A and B are shown apart, each in its own frame.
Chain A
Amino acid sequence: MKKQKKKYTFDFSIIAAFFVFVGLSFYYHYNPGISIFKDNFWLFLKEMIYALPVMFILVGLFDVWVSREKVQKHIGKASGVKGILLVMSLAFLQAGPLYAAFPVAYILWKKGTSPTNIFIYLAACSTAKIPMLAFEIGFLGIKFSILRIFITIPIFIVVGTIMGKYFEKNDYEVKEV
């Protein structure tokens, strides 16, 4: 418990300092402070509140319903190209920022996904999420999107493979927060 507390001291002091700062800014009409809160913090908080609890509930449900054997068989160490395609499609269907993918990575790891597939999953998450694709095409055009995705995928399979090999060699593990 004590260790737990210490772990959060830094975070809580930032949070406390920030709220004091924002409170004072509103009280004294200090515009930069108000703007940081309204234009930035509030926006990010909203994004986080939309994306994260839902992701964590999905992760929790996945944990109780999907067996280790099943995951290992499909996206474990011996899953090959099929495994890569599977984690990539899983990533493409997701929404939210990259840090929303970390808890998913943890649960995938716990269930026996190979490190390489975990890092490919992380990379794919940020390459072509279907919910965001409509946005990208709308603002930058279909030519841009297609080019970007097809160039990015092979590069990030390489990055994912390097990371996976490195992770495995050092016997690292993904921790539950």
Chain B
Amino acid sequence: MLTIIILTAVLTLISFIADRKKTLKGIKKGIMMFLKILPTLLSVIILVSVVLYFVSDKFIIEYLGKDAGFGAYISAALIGSISIIPGFIAYPLAGILVKGGVGLSVIAVFITTLKMVGILTIPIEAKFFGLKTALIRNGLSFIGAIIVGTIMAIILYYI
């Protein structure tokens, strides 16, 4: 993340030296876009915070840890789809899950849906792409994630 911030700062500086007016116009445009989406973002974050309070780490481990059957994949996909956990928390959590006996292919489903499917961020996505497109993209990605897990399970079984 720091790299991106530094990169942006450097690029902005170069841009500023090259053309002041253009740079200011660009930055203004970017900030306006940000402010326009901010209310929706905040309300989504609030809803996520409240939902995640009820879906704790312990809850997640309980649902993925014990049986490694197909149900674990579905649970992993569902949990991954509704949670929005930043990577720096998700990976350590995934590490704990693996140590707790959860299969790597289940983890793959969890990580893939976590990043690719965002049920709670559909309001934001819909603002850009329209509701129908957002729903279809999330649905297809959900199926895609399950396929990833299945292929992974097959490969891991043979190597």
Residues of chain A touching chain B, judged by Cβ–Cβ distance below 8 Å, are: 8, 10-12, 14-15, 18, 32, 35-37, 39-41, 43-45, 47-48, 50-65, 94-99, 102-103, 105-106, 119, 122-123, 126-127, 129, 131-132, 135-136, 138-140, 144, 147-148, 151-152, 155-156, 158-159, 162-163, 166-167, 172, 174-177
Question: What is the distance, in angstroms, from A135's C-beta to the closest C-beta of chain B?
Answer: 4
Alpha-carbon distance between A129 and B37 when the two chains are bound, in angstroms: 23
Picked from B41, B89, B121, the residue with its CB within 8 Å of the CB of A98 is B121
Partner of A94, one of B4, B30, B33, B136: B4
**Known A-B contacts A50-B1, A131-B1; A148 and B108 likewise in contact (beta carbons under 8 Å):** yes
Are A99 and B41 in contact (CB-based, < 8 A)? yes
Q: B23 to A14, Cβ gap below 8 A?
A: no
Taken together as a complex, chains A and B put the C-alpha atoms of A155 and B34 apart, in Å, by 31
* Inter-subunit contact A61/B133 (CB<8 Å): no
A32/B128 contact (C-beta < 8 A), A11-B40, A65-B15, A144-B104 known: no
B interface residues, how many (CB within 8 angstroms):
71
Q: Identify which of B89, B129, B155 gathers the most chain A CB atoms within 10 Å of its CB.
A: B129
Contacts known (A14-B43, A48-B41); A136 close to B91, Cβ less than 8 A: yes
| Inter-subunit contact A155/B137 (CB<8 Å) | no
- Extra A-B contacts (19), CB below 8 Å, given A50-B5, A51-B1, A176-B33: A11-B43, A40-B52, A43-B86, A48-B45, A56-B34, A57-B8, A60-B29, A61-B12, A65-B22, A95-B1, A103-B34, A123-B116, A127-B112, A136-B87, A136-B91, A139-B92, A155-B147, A159-B141, A175-B128
Partner of A140, one of B8, B11, B94: B94
Q: How far is the CB of B136 from chain A (nearest CB, A)?
A: 7
Question: Taking A64-B22, A175-B127 as contacts, is the C-beta distance between A40 and B108 under 8 angstroms?
Answer: no
Q: Does B95 contact A (CB under 8 A)?
A: yes
Residues of chain B contacted by A14 (CB below 8 angstroms): 42-43, 46-47
Whether A162 pairs with B140 at a CB distance below 8 angstroms is: yes
Contacting A at CB under 8 A, from B35-73, are 36-37, 39-43, 45-50, 52-53
CB <8 Å contact, B91 and A138: yes
Q: Give the residues in chain B near A12, CB-CB below 8 Å.
A: 39, 43
Within 8 A of A (CB), among B1-17: 1, 3-5, 8, 11-12, 15
Q: Give bound CA distance, A136 to B95, whole Å.
A: 9
| List of A residues within 8 angstroms of B43 by Cβ | 10-12, 14-15
Whether the Cβ atoms of A54 and B141 lie closer than 8 Å is no
The answer to whether B115 and A64 touch across the interface, beta carbons within 8 angstroms, is no
- Chain B positions within 8 Å of A148 at CB level: 108, 111-112, 148, 152
CA gap between A158 and B156 in the complex, in Å: 23
Could you list 20 A-B pairs, sorted by A, with CB under 8 Å?
A11-B42, A15-B39, A40-B49, A43-B86, A44-B86, A48-B45, A52-B34, A59-B29, A60-B27, A60-B28, A60-B30, A63-B26, A65-B15, A65-B22, A97-B86, A103-B37, A123-B116, A135-B87, A140-B91, A177-B33
